[in-house]
Amino acid sequence: MTDSPHISTSQRLFESDAPQALAAATFLLAGFALARQHELLGEIEQVLRESPLRHMQTPGGFTMSVAMSNCGALGWVSDRKGYRYTPMDPLTNAPWPVLPSCMQQLATEAAALCGFAGFMPDACLINRYAPGTRMSLHQDKNEVDYSAPIVSVSLGVDAAFQLGGMQRSDKPLRIGLQHGDVLVWGGEDRLRFHGVLPIKPQHHPLMGPDRINLTFRKAG
Ligand code: MD3
Ligand code: FE
């Protein structure tokens, strides 16, 4: 038997009761966003009406396959000049949309459950992966203060996340991420290399073929 080209996404039914440690300071909160999924998706829709998803240019002149937008006081951008955070959306020439309350509370609560009390993100990068989209191994290094953690929320179809080491050449662990999963990492794991393998064709009841990832950061 051959694989169907559009297998349905596996569904997590419940949130786990405790964070699962993937490394010393990297934690998976399985299903932690499920209880607020509809409110979250509504907030994301509203943000994207104001600052739409777009494919940014890399400094080397390539077009990124992940479509991105941001909300919060600062937003991550890439163009021919490099990677950085800006207070204004270069597409709309207006400030990035305000970080909505359900999104912000989710990030603060998830961080606290993993030992990072008082996490106040000032930036949320929204990544949209269509089938086939990947994000190659990289470090998140554009933030001013590495003592703050990063919180990520996975929505939509499943992804295979790569958790690498401190060198690009360190063999990454492969971790399956499902709709509603939340990852928190900080401390000694803050600068680990990480990436996302190409998204397989799948169907999610709320998100169709796509995956959306939110990453909450203290950027400035
Ligand atoms: C890093 N996004 O936007 S976040 C990014 O799924 C980004 O869209 C990916 O990398 C995404 O910069 C991955 C998840 C993540 C999880 C655990 C980590 C990144 C991590 C642990 C250490 C370092
Ligand atoms: Fe990253």
pLDDT at 9: 79
Tell me what percent of the residues of the chain surpass a pLDDT of 70: 97
What is the residue extent of each domain of the chain?
A: 6-217
Burial 73-112 (b: 16+ CB within 10 A, else e): bbbbbbeeeeeebeeebeeeeebbbebbebbbebbbbbbe
Amino acid letter for position 93: N
Answer for the pair 207, 156: CB distance below 8 angstroms, yes or no: yes
- The two beta strands, 182-185 and 26-29, are antiparallel
Mutation test residue for ligand 1: of 126, 183, 189, 193, the one with most atoms within 8 Å of CB = 183
Mean pLDDT of 183-212: 98
Tell me how far the alpha carbon of residue 151 lies from the centroid of ligand 1, in angstroms: 8
Task: Quick: pLDDT tens for 158-190.
Answer: 999 999 999 999 999 999 999 999 999 999 999
And the tokens for 72?
A: 């919060």
The pLDDT tens digits of the residues spanning 12-31 come to: 888 887 899 999 999 999 99
Residue 93 backbone class (left: φ over 0; alpha: ψ -120 to 50; beta: rest): left
Distance 35 CA to ligand 2 centre (A): 25
DSSP one-letter code for 116: -
Fold annotation for 6-217: Jelly Rolls (2.60.120)
Q: Ligand 1 centroid vs 47 CA: distance in angstroms?
A: 21
